[in-house]
Each structure stands twice: as C-alpha cells, then as structure tokens.
Structure 1
C-alpha cells in the first residue's frame, strides 16, 4: 500500500507533522482557508483572560506542565510574588495588585498571540503543493509508487547502509528526491489521463482515436520512463540485499574464526595430522573469500545507487 510522498525540500519538522497526520491531508485544492484573526476569536480571548492572572499570580502552577526547568523558574517567580506579602502584609498585597494589573495585560496579549489556529492546518496550507496522496493516482501509478517506496525503504533500512558502507550515495538526500520525482511524474500522468478522458467526452470514433494517438504516445513514453526509474531503484535495493547477506555471512565466519584456536588444539591432540588442521584453517580462507564477496557486493550496490544521482539532479 503506497504512502503519501513528500517534497524533500519541506523542513524536516514540518514533514514529520504532516506524515504523522497523513490520513487527514486533503487534496491541495481543498486546503483549509486562512481563518480571520489567525483563528483568535472570542473563545480564545476568553481563555487568554482566564490564564493571564494564573501566569502572573500563580506562575508555579502555570509552569508545572512544561518540564523540570520551567518548574524551577515558576517556583522562583512564585517566591517573588509571595515575598512582598510575607514581608509587608497588606501593603505588600496592595503593591502586588498594583503591579499585577499591567503584568496581566501583558500576559493576556502573550497568551493570545501564542494561541489561535492549530499547527496542522497552517502546515497544510503552507505546503499544499508539497505532498502527493496515493488517492490522487489511478491506473498503474499507485502500484509503481508502492514499488518505489518499498525499494527505498529496503535501502535505508539495510545493514550496509546503517554501517555507512553506502555513504557515497548519500541515500538520505538522493532517495527522497527520487521518490518525489516519481510521485510528481505519476501525479502528472494521472492528471493528463483524466483530462484526456474529459476532453474526448467518452467518444472513441476513428477521428478521435487518431487525434489522441500523439497524446497517448507521449503518455506511454512517460510511463515507460518512470517504470525504468522504479526498476533502477529496485535493482539498487536488490544489490543492497545481496551486500547485507554477504555482511551477515562474513560476521558469522568471523565469529567462528574466533574459536579456531580451541578447535585447532582439540584436533591437534586427537588427530595429529595436517589434514585436520587444514580443515580448520579453511574457515579463515572462507572468511577471506566472503569478505571479498562483501566488498564486491557493496561496490556493486554503491554503483547502482550512484547511477541514480544524475536522474535526481
């Protein structure tokens, strides 16, 4: 099942919020409108008016939910509020009330400015052209997007990638760009196909078919091109899986080689012949061969990945 694909130029923090709310993302044409006054209505103003005196006179309570250091700051501010009352009684209370009035107004304005429209609608409106939903695709497009995403996921999660053996490919930069390019092409193919269907008004007469031939040829060529790109991603993922298997086998043989001395001594005591020792030594040789195979697999995977870079540019 394909996922929403995002423009890699969207800041990472915003992209994470959008991805976490992928089922809520609307079609770009249905992005939420900008609310009046930034979403700050009478209800928001009322809540700000209630919170303002709490921030001024009970800062310890107001800061308690914001973590350790906020609590420390709130307790310190609370001590400043209580000190005049403790030292001067009613005079201190009157002094606090006098100073508290303008501070409440400031707190009210700050709370009001920080309130308003939630983050998600703002991000959707700001980046409405920066994501493509699978629901917007038709024909073979959803399947092609799913294949591309599966290939990229396989490379990113591979052990050789986590170990940094493919770092030249700069997977974190190249592969998201590849996915976005694939998604954009598939979305454009879907749009043109729908537009073509609307303009023909369901007719398939010889003249209409003849007029459609150049457009359909262009659509077919573009589809073949994106299929080749998806297949290139899948080849890269396949090379990465081979390299992963070689790395796993190499580690297993290294683990076995660590116990060679004990087995060598055991065979030397029981068999006392060169053949038995040679069998143990063969483990080291096999490890060397697997290591060479690993390097060869990694190099092939890196070349497969590097072949994608010109397309991403």
Structure 2
C-alpha cells in the first residue's frame, strides 16, 4: 500500500466536476492556460462598435467629399471633331479623364465599402457577444473546477496521490479487459477524485484565511483550535485517499498476476509439441510428468490471479459507491 508520505508519481492536475460538459471543461482549461484572454469585465457592445463606426464614418465622409469634388470638376467633353490645339489642352483632357475615372470608381465602390463596414461591425459585435458569454460561463462554472494553485502543499500532495491511484486503476489490463467492472470504475473514480479535490480546496481556503501574524494570545489560541479541527478534517480526507490507494494496490497485484498468467499460458500452449519432441528424442516417461507440471503451474497461477481479482473487487466494493441500476 502507498504510504501517506510517499511522493506522487506525477504532478497534481486540475480537476473538473465530472458532470460538466466537455466544451465547458475545455473553456476552463483554456482560461487557466491563457488567463490574459479572459481578464477584466464584460465588454460593451457600443464600445466594441464605436471604433469601427468612427473609422467608417471618416472614410465615408472623405469618399463623399472626393466624389462630390470630382463630380463638380467635370466639364463638357469636346466633340470628336475637336482636336487639342496645344499641349495645355491635351493635359487638361488627361486630367479630366482621370477625374472622371476616379468619380466613377468611387461611385461603383461605394456599395462594396458600405457592405464591408457592416460586415466588420457585425464581426465585432459577434466577437464581443462570444467573449461576454464565455465570461458568464466561467463565472458560473469556475467553482466546479479545482486548480492546483488553490491548494496548500499538503492538499496538493493528497490530490496527486488520489490521481495516481485513479490512473493506476484505469490504466490496468484487468480494467481494460473489464475484469473489475470497467463501467463502474470509469464513472465512480472521477467522482471520487472530484469530491476529494473539492474538499481539499475548501480545506486550503480555510487554511489560507488565517492571519499571517496573529496578534495576542487569544488570537493564537483560536488559531490553534481551528488548526486542530482542520487537521482532523484533513486526516478524514487522507483516509479516503488511502482507501483509493489500497484499491489501486489490489488492482496492481491482480494486474501482475494477470500478466503472469498470460505469459505462462503462452508458454504452455505448445505443450503438445514439447511432449511430442520429448517423446521422439528421449522416449522417457519423465516427459509427460514435465508437461503435467507445467500445466499444474499454469493452474496455480490462474487460481492466484482469481484470488487477486476477488481481492480487487472487494476493495472496489469498499471504496466505490454501489452502482445504480437503471429503472
């Protein structure tokens, strides 16, 4: 059995309420990994729209003035029979053509510019709505997500031990082969981990709420009584973790016996071939006894595995709540 002071196999991981949807869990993990994205208060739709509206208004006003100016500068086009009399006339005609092209281009691009502005404003609105919805969801479900930073050192150690026990059970061969009630483990163990994490978070919150520098003997006495109560609570949580570790140890032993049984079965699958080879070469009666001995060893290991499996199931009955049958 893993002792109380044993170091965990892996660092403590955040724990989410198993009842949460995967989308919400993903959002909680993302907010933890990138806290700057979800910092601050909710954004105003008007403030999100204002910069784009101002930019659009400035661009629209500039385009309107340019359109009006280029339209006002249009002069009567000369007839095809009139030829430019000088270089100055030719230059004036070129300028007039450029102004007309600019005027026509502004007139044609105007609907596209307005459409682009509307799309940009709509994008900003949707972005703000999505961000505010994410903040609301985080505010609602953040209490159902335990982060390692919320725990004291001793609480982190206990949670890491519980998580290691869960990984041991769910990663075992006897679990994958459904020899120890796979469905029950996959439902009950995450709930066990969450309840332990939630209790450890509350314990840590109360521990951190104590004043760093108590003033007066009366305050110190109150803190002493308070710490004794919290220590009792922590020992209760630890007993639950130890029970999980005991279950994991039983599963580990059953897993070892299961692997041993498979290897011996693999070795004894060719018993007939070994017997035939011995009979052809030595013709000793001892050959039959050798093969019988191998089969007896396989039966003994199988019996040991069965006993280990039963012990694991008994440990599960103690640690895990009984399965609720569907009505």
8 A Cα contact 2:49 2:121, kept in partner = no
Name the structure 1 match of 2:141.
Answer: 127
1:32, distance to aligned residue in structure 2 (A) = 4.9
1:264 matched residue in structure 2: 275
CA distance in 2 between partners of 1:246 and 1:175 (Å)? 23
Instruction: Flag the structure with larger Rg.
Output: 2
Asked which structure has the greater RCO (Cα within 8 Å, sep 6+), the reply is: 2
Counterpart secondary structure, 1:202: coil
Take 1:45 and 1:171, find their aligned partners in 2: how far apart are those partners? 56
Q: In the alignment, which residue of structure 2 is the partner of 1:15?
A: 25
Please state how far the C-alpha of 1:239 moved relative to its aligned partner: 1.1
CA shift, 1:112, in A, is 7.0
Question: 2:42 matched to 1:34?
Answer: yes
1:178 is aligned to 2:192: yes
Long gaps (5+) in structure 1 = 47-102
DSSP 3-state at the match of 2:210? helix
Alpha-carbon distance in 2 for matches of 1:39, 1:299 = 65
**Take 1:245 and 1:286, find their aligned partners in 2: how far apart are those partners?**
16
Judged with a 3 Å threshold, the aligned counterparts in structure 2 of structure 1 residues 113 and 249 are, in CA distance, closer, same or farther, namely farther
The change in CA–CA distance for 1:21 and 1:209 in structure 2 (over 3 A counts) is closer
1:151-300 pair list within 5 angstroms: 151-167=165-181, 170-197=184-211, 201-203=213-215, 205=217, 207-300=218-311
Which structure shows the bigger proportion of residues in helix conformation? 1
Say whether the 8 Å CA contact 1:31–1:124 is kept in structure 2: no
Query: What's the TM-score once normalised by structure 1's chain length?
Result: 0.68
Any conservation in 1 of the 2:49–2:124 contact (CA below 8 Å)?
A: no
In structure 1, the partner of 2:164 is: 150
Name the CA distance, whole Å, in 1 between partners of 2:291 and 2:31: 57
1:123 and 1:24, CA in 2 relative to 1: closer, same or farther beyond 3 A? farther
Please report how far the alpha carbon of residue 23 of structure 1 lies from its aligned counterpart in structure 2 after TM superposition: 2.8
Asked if 1 retains the 8 angstrom alpha-carbon contact of 2:14 and 2:145, the reply is yes
Following the alignment from structure 1 to structure 2, what is the Cα–Cα distance between the partners of residues 25 and 279? 68
Deviation at 1:35, TM superposition (A): 2.5
| TM-score, structure 2 normalization | 0.66
Corresponding residue for 2:13? 3
Relative to 1, partners in 2 of residues 1:111 and 1:139: Cα closer, same or farther, differing over 3 Å? closer
User: 1:169 touches 1:306 (CA, 8 Å); kept in 2?
Assistant: no
Shift of residue 216, structure 1, vs aligned partner: 2.3
Q: Aligned partners of 1:122 and 1:44: how far apart in 2? A: 25
CA 1:31 to 1:288, structure 2 compared with 1: closer, same or farther past 3 Å? Answer: farther
Give the secondary structure class of the aligned counterpart of 1:171. helix
